[in-house]
Structure 1
Amino acid sequence: MPYFLLASVLLAMLGGPGDSLASLSAMLTAYAIALPLATVSALLPLVRPLAVAGVRALGGVPVAGLAEGPARSWAERGRTSAWWTLHLGLGALVSGLSLAMPPMAGLLLAAPLLGRERRVELGMGWFADGSRLWTAPLAGLLILAVVVGCAAVAGALLARAVPVLLGPSTADRLAAAEERAADLAVRNRLARELHDAVGHALSAVTLQAVAARRVLDRDPEFVREALAAIEDTTRRTVGELDTVLGLLRDGDAARPDAAPAPTLGADLAGLLARTRATGAAVTAYQDPGPVGSWEALPAIVSREAYRIVQEGLSNALRHGAGGPVELHLAVREKEETRVLEIVMTNVPAAPGGGPAGRGGGGRGLRGAGERAALLGGSVEAGPDVGRWRLRAVLPLGGGGR
């Protein structure tokens, strides 16, 4: 209607046919002018979300494949413009038929009840003759059927045009795929953080409590150390859990009060001490090599390496047979690139290989592999000559992706 009214004003300014909108020629001319106006206005990017919202509200068509967001390219704008013009053009015709034809059909249906003079007065002179009067109701029914048929045909045509003109383009599908991939990456990252932080803490606290209970009467000093380790572990884990939940609530926005992520340089000694407080014998061999110290590692490598070591120790605590754990950390030169190599070995609980669930690569080992892959490195884990062995290689620069 806005396009039609604007076209009528332009027509009146140009001295078009007819003095009123009631003039059929004026209405048809205004309709012919309004369609190009609608076509041009639909080139605006925001018209597509409006058109998609209208299709969803009307229903009756599959809406799962509709494009999202404003039109980006001129090809998308052109398809949206074609839909807009087709929708409004057919809608105007169906609206006109729906307004004009039912009253006419009603008069024809009532014609047998009217006198001859009244039928002539209402413009139904052809039905004034009594021999033709019986055809008036049939004509009325035919007019109603034509109106309904036109509406149905127009609806079917528009429904078939929706996926072609308002469906997602290749660029839309690519943008949606990238958005889903980004969401999945965030979910995986949060899942890894929760698993590594909370899972390790629960394993360590459980074993520390068990070890303390067993020697409660014989070794009070060990019990005090175990309780102190439990306190330290739970305090650290609460801080890490708060940080992860903050990321879940606020996205990637950094919080000034968030606890810093643990790193190899700052937190490795504490991790080893808390692990030893469970009664496990952990021997660590450290060789920073050319970097000099773990504090000199790139921050992201240090964080991911800490989590990989943490996951390896968690597996050793959960699945180990109480045997010793050996941890080797070394920076090496490999093909003109410096890499951090992490090797951890321990005796598995089940003879002849890893325990149930370990060989299949649980969530923790899979998460460690994802962490390494993000840096361009790799993780290998599995039985090795009667022991369980985990080996990770992390490039220190130039290999991340």
Structure 2
Amino acid sequence: MTALGRSLFGRRARLRWIHLILGGALAMPYVLVGSVVVGPLAGGENVFGSLSLQLASFALGLPLAAVTSLFPLTRPLESGVVRSLCGVGAERLAYGPARTKGEKGRTAAWFTLHLGAGGIVAGMSLAVPPFAVTLIVLPFVPVLRDGWPGLPGLFGHTWALVLSPLAGAAMLLALAGCAAAVGALLARWAPTLLGPSAEDRVAAAEARAADLAVRNRLARELHDSVGHALSAVTLQASAARRLLDTDPEFVREALAAIEDTTRRTVGELDAVLGVLRDGDATGDAWGAAPAPTLAGDLDDLLRRTRAGGLRVDATVAAAVADPRALPAPVSREAYRIVQEGLSNALRHAGEKVTVALRVEVLDGHLRITVENPFGVAVPAPRPGGGHGLRGIADRARLLGGAAEAGAAGPLWRLHVRLPLKGTA
């Protein structure tokens, strides 16, 4: 099919034609209401026996259509039909009820335009095809010429009979062209009249940004929780294997730590994946497994880490153990920062070194410092690189703090400052 044929009779053109005919069908009740007014004004004359009275009834019914378009469901329904039949992208249309004056005005304009253009095209679609088909077959069916007054004389000429089928075919092509042109115009105007307003776009962008921020936070939680668990379990299993025959008590403690670590991590993993699976990232991701905090879970974290053989020298201020001393967001993020710092030490420093952890409150800030000597062997880089230090920096920045990491003489040092005041 040529480009012209597709534009007139292709699938999209046919669907847009159907859209216009639906507009004509929707216009009929308003035409009937208009005829109730026009009929008495015309002296009781039959409205449907006169084309001029029908057009008057049609013109009178369109303002009523504009008023009824203010119902809340009009814009969602029209947007759905336009998306399905006119080939307009879903992202260019609004599906909520019109609320502001501007949205209501644009919806009324669209509904009136749809019914007005649809009524005209639908009327042409009913009237033109029978007349055009009659013209096409007229040279071959003489009885048709006898049934129309004036036609026997006109079609007594050979040239008129020859042109009659061409005129009928031209009328059908003109009808298809009108329907395609009007359908294309409505499809072009639909995003302007039914599309989201500037306020809708801003609100949608803010909602997407908030959803992305929450999902990024969940991704950080998964990375820190699962990454630490895998590092700790690997180290604990390795130590237990080496001491299986010589220190059964240590092996039992290591296996208990592995069990506790995996059970807790699986609970957190199920909770976060459940939120992502349900598509509600704004909910409580830790409904089944509450987010661990520095005040309530630091001792268990240190115990599980030491059970793997890593020596941790921890200095923790007494205020840190008081849940009321730290704002809840600071306590949650600080726990993950300490967890990631110990995970880095597990992965890179090795078992034979001592990690120094210091958590204190100074000058209105919670200060976390993790120091360890460099490992004997340089660890092989992981594919794609790690995200732990970047996650720590993101967590600190989220609370208005700062994080620094790097070599300090013979030590690797991680230092984080989190403000305690003004944290929401």
- After TM superposition, the score normalised by the length of structure 1 is 0.87
> For residues 191 and 350 of structure 1, what CA distance do their matches in structure 2 show?
31
Distance in 2 of aligned mates of 1:107 and 1:27: 24
- The 1:256/1:389 distance shift into structure 2, 3 A limit, reads closer
Matches of 2:373 and 2:285 in 1, distance apart? 41
In the other structure, the counterpart of 1:346 is 372
- Choose which of 349, 368, 372 in structure 1 pairs with 2:392: 368
Q: Which amino acid aligns with 1:119?
A: R
Question: Equivalences for 1:2-401 in 2 at 5 Å?
Answer: 2-13=26-37, 15-17=40-42, 18-115=45-142, 118-123=144-149, 125=151, 127-131=154-158, 132-248=160-276, 251=280, 253=283, 258-288=288-318, 293=322, 296-322=325-351, 323-333=353-363, 338-349=364-375, 356=381, 362-400=386-424
Aligned partners of 2:86 and 2:187 also within 8 Å: no
Paired with 2:213 and 2:283, the residues of 1 have a C-alpha distance of 16
Cross-structure match for 2:3: none
Q: Which moved more, 1:311-320 or 1:19-28?
A: 19-28
The CA distance in 1 between the partners of 2:283 and 2:238, in whole Å, is: 40
Calculate percent identity across the aligned residue pairs. 55
Structure 1 residue 370, shift from structure 2 partner: 2.8
Match of 1:186, as an amino acid?
A: V
Verify the 8 A CA contact 2:80 2:95 in the aligned structure 1: no
The corresponding residue for 2:20 is none
Matched AA of 1:346: N
Give the superposition deviation at 1:314. Answer: 0.8
Separation in 2, partners of 1:256, 1:294: 18
Q: Which runs of 5+ in 2 are unaligned?
A: 1-24
1:357 CA drift (Å)? 5.7
SS at match of 1:259: coil
Q: Which has the higher helix share?
A: 2
Shift of 1:275: 0.8
Contact residue 319 and residue 355 of structure 1 kept, 8 A: no
Measure how far apart 1:285 and its partner are: 1.5
Task: Please give the alpha-carbon distance, in whole angstroms, between the structure 1 residues aligned to 2:115 and 2:410.
Answer: 76
Gaps of 5+ in 1: none
Q: Tell me how far 1:10 sits from its aligned partner.
A: 4.2
Q: Secondary structure at the match of 2:161?
A: coil
Note if contact 1:120-1:128 (Cα within 8 Å) is conserved in structure 2. no
Asked if the contact 1:280/1:324 (under 8 Å) is kept, the reply is yes
Q: Root-mean-square deviation (CA), in Å?
A: 2.8
Give the secondary-structure state (helix, strand or coil) at the position aligned to 1:134. Answer: helix
Measured in 1, the distance between the counterparts of 2:33 and 2:193 equals 31
Deviations 1:299-355, CA, capped at 9 Å, x for gaps: 22111111111111111101213322111111111xxxx21111111233478x997
Shift of 1:207: 0.3
Range 200-209 or range 260-269, more displaced: 260-269
Contact 2:34–2:58, Cα closer than 8 Å, also in 1: no
Amino acid at match of 2:133: G
Check conservation: 2:401, 2:419, Cα contact below 8 A.
yes
Q: 2: distance between equivalents of 1:107 and 1:145?
A: 15
Q: Distance in 1 between matches of 2:316 and 2:215?
A: 33
Shift of 1:64: 3.9
Provide, for residues 150-169 of structure 1, a one-character-per-residue CA deviation record: whole Å limited to 9, x for no partner: 11211221122123223332
Q: Is the Cα contact below 8 Å between 2:75 and 2:194 reproduced in 1?
A: yes
Task: Report how many aligned residue pairs link the two structures.
Answer: 392
The amino acid across from 2:202 in the alignment is L
Are the equivalent residues in 1 in contact too, given 2:272–2:286 (CA < 8 A)? no
Please give the alpha-carbon distance, in whole angstroms, between the structure 2 residues aligned to 1:227 and 1:354.
26
Taking a change above 3 Å as real, the CA distance of residues 103 and 163 of structure 1, as seen in their structure-2 partners, is same
**2:172 corresponds to which letter in structure 1?**
L
- The structure-2 alpha-carbon separation of the partners of 1:245 and 1:256, relative to structure 1 and needing over 3 Å to count, comes to closer
Q: List per-residue Cα deviations over 1:86-125 (Å, max 9, x = no partner).
A: 222111111111110111111111221233x742432452
Higher normalized contact order (CA 8 Å, seq sep 6+, divided by chain length): 2
**Which amino acid is 1:218 matched to?**
T
How far apart, CA to CA, are the structure 2 residues paired with 1:171 and 1:328? 49
Cα 1:236–1:76 shift into 2, 3 Å? same
Secondary structure (helix, strand or coil) at the match of 1:380 reads strand
Q: Deviations over 1:271-302 (max 9, x none)?
A: 1111111111111112246x784553222211
Shift of residue 53, structure 1, vs aligned partner: 0.7
CA distance in structure 1 between the aligned counterparts of 2:285 and 2:203, rounded to whole angstroms: 29
Query: Residue type matched to 2:292 in 1?
Result: P
